[in-house]
Amino acid sequence: MCEVRAMKVQEEYLRDLRERAEKALTKKAPLGPDIDLSQFYLCSPRERVEDVREIEDQLKEAALYAGVELEGEKAATYLQVDRSAVYERVQRAFQGKLEIMSSQEALQKYPELFEYWWGLVPVDADKYTAFAELCPTEGYFIRVFAHTKVEIPLQACLLMSERARVQSVHNIVILEEGAEANLITGCASVRGNESGVHIGVSEFYLGDNARLTFTMVHNWGEAFHVRPRTAARLGKNAFFSSTYVLLKPLASIQAFPQVFLEGEGAQATFQNIVFAKGNSYIDLGSTLLLKNRGCRGSSISRVCATDEAQVFARGRLIAYHDEVQAHLECKGMLFSPRAQIVSVPELEVHGAPRARLSHEAAVGPFEEEAVNYLRARGLKREEALSLLTQGFLNLDLPGLPEALRRYIEEIIRVTSRDVL
């Protein structure tokens, strides 16, 4: 009887989600340019492979330049191409300590997972969340078991092939009490696929004393629209660090993730590293809701903009307790008179007069003194500016493949030479 009752509750829950999504399918997002999703068709299924050597070289290359090394030694790997999970692997040393699989497979395996499904991101937030529910194309599920420390990075890669035009994934990441992990996620289109839409719903649940370092690298085509919808919930003394890297032009991206710091002593940091080029429209930010004693947070943006790119760097801090502290920081650099950087800080305090929230913003060029200092040591002007740009963007990220690191440095070097 209990199982029958549980199944009925799940059916009612799913029916309610679908009804809410259907009502929101035309609901415009409050930020970012609106996209007519009817112009794009769903991507096709792909066949699963059992060995990474069976994956096409073109897909491996796209994954690598999005931060995922498919042939490297990682604790666990998830690869999705278009609408299908094509490869999953957990290193033998971590068998029984963590799980990685498609989200649909996880829902079937663990009925209790419905407690987390749309638990943080509202299904009817806008047309993109609604589309992700009504037209799902998998996504990943990652769980690190209690008190497990995963020292080798986990990685998840979401690729769109030349045939794909829409990918709408729903990801769930759970770190149980005392678990620790470093997760690298790469999202990219393969060479030749210049247009499409990627919608990514991601929900993170961190138990007490859990620690997650999360890095996301995007490498899309110039006519791609990207709409991440992300939220995280942190328990007591949990730590969540999120870094987003975008160095290639795209049509538009709009993301405003939220972190609910609910447990005492919870901490969260965001870092956005953006080199905006072409006609890119980039609207990025984060919201930290500090709800308990000892919560700490920071949101840092480093933005370079050239050509006719537009960048909106947002940050929102909301304090609900006297003993919390958080800081916003946005530093930008314009390399073109046609480019635009807009910093939008928001600080809110609700019934907590002793809460400490602060923000700092600056847009301007490199100091000539710094340039001349490097030139005096034998560097050409463009070399000096390129080196300063690399330092400004602060690309020392843990766990990235060396080939990607060199690729990023080359992008910055060449772009700096062309625009400075």
Q: Is residue 137 part of a domain?
A: yes
Let me know: does 85 contact 138? Beta carbons within 8 Å. yes
For residue 183, give both structure tokens.
Answer: 């997760």
Query: Do 302 and 372 fall into the same domain?
Result: no
Q: Average pLDDT in the 66-78 region?
A: 83
Let me know: does 304 contact 393? Beta carbons within 8 Å. yes
Under the banding of pLDDT at 50, 70 and 90, the label for residue 363 is: confident
Query: Do 378 and 360 fall into the same domain?
Result: no
Let me know: does 231 contact 120? Beta carbons within 8 Å. yes
| DSSP secondary structure of 15-60 | HHHHHHHHHHTTPPPSSS----GGGSPBPPP----SSGGGS-HHHH
Helix (H) / strand (E) containing 372: helix 368-375
For residue 196, give both structure tokens.
Answer: 């499409």
pLDDT digits (tens, 9 = 90+) for 134-178: 998 899 999 999 999 998 999 999 998 866 689 999 999 999 999
pLDDT digits (tens, 9 = 90+) for 269-287: 999 989 899 999 999 999 9
CA distance 347 to 47: 48
Query: Do 142 and 289 fall into the same domain?
Result: yes
On the question of pLDDT at 1 being above 70, the answer is no
Domain count, the chain: 2
Query: Do 225 and 269 fall into the same domain?
Result: yes
pLDDT number for residue 396: 62
On the question of pLDDT at 203 being above 60, the answer is yes
Task: Choose from 54-58, 87-91, 257-261, 404-408 the range with maximum mean pLDDT.
Answer: 257-261
Question: Rg of the Cα trace of the chain?
Answer: 21
Query: Do 268 and 145 fall into the same domain?
Result: yes
On the question of pLDDT at 331 being above 90, the answer is no
Q: Which of 366, 394, 410 lies at the terminal end of a domain, its last residue?
A: 366
On the question of pLDDT at 420 being above 60, the answer is no
- The SS3 of residue 251 is coil
pLDDT number for residue 311: 97
Query: Do 306 and 330 fall into the same domain?
Result: yes
Query: Do 351 and 405 fall into the same domain?
Result: no
Let me know: does 354 contact 319? Beta carbons within 8 Å. no
Helix (H) / strand (E) containing 167: strand 166-175
Distances (CA, A) of 57 to 61, 65, 190, 248, 330: 6, 12, 11, 21, 38
Q: Is residue 322 part of a domain?
A: yes
Strand order of the β-sheet with 211-219 is 84-90, 76-81, 154-160, 180-189, 211-219, 239-246, 267-276, 296-305, 325-334, 356-363
Query: Do 252 and 346 fall into the same domain?
Result: yes
Q: Which of 366, 389, 409 lies at the terminal end of a domain, its last residue?
A: 366
Q: Is residue 5 part of a domain?
A: no
Q: Is residue 288 part of a domain?
A: yes
- The SS3 of residue 296 is strand
pLDDT number for residue 254: 98
Q: Which domain holds residue 131?
A: 44-366
Query: Do 222 and 140 fall into the same domain?
Result: yes
Query: Do 195 and 337 fall into the same domain?
Result: yes
Under the banding of pLDDT at 50, 70 and 90, the label for residue 265 is: very high
Q: Is residue 11 part of a domain?
A: no
Please, how many CA atoms are within 13 Å of residue 316, restricted to the half-sphere of its CB?
A: 14
Q: Which of 320, 349, 366 lies at the terminal end of a domain, its last residue?
A: 366
Q: Is residue 39 part of a domain?
A: no
Query: Do 323 and 380 fall into the same domain?
Result: no
Q: Is residue 269 part of a domain?
A: yes
Q: Average pLDDT in the 392-403 region?
A: 64
User: Hunting for tokens 């991101």 — which residue is that?
Assistant: 121
Q: Is residue 316 part of a domain?
A: yes
Query: Do 201 and 106 fall into the same domain?
Result: yes
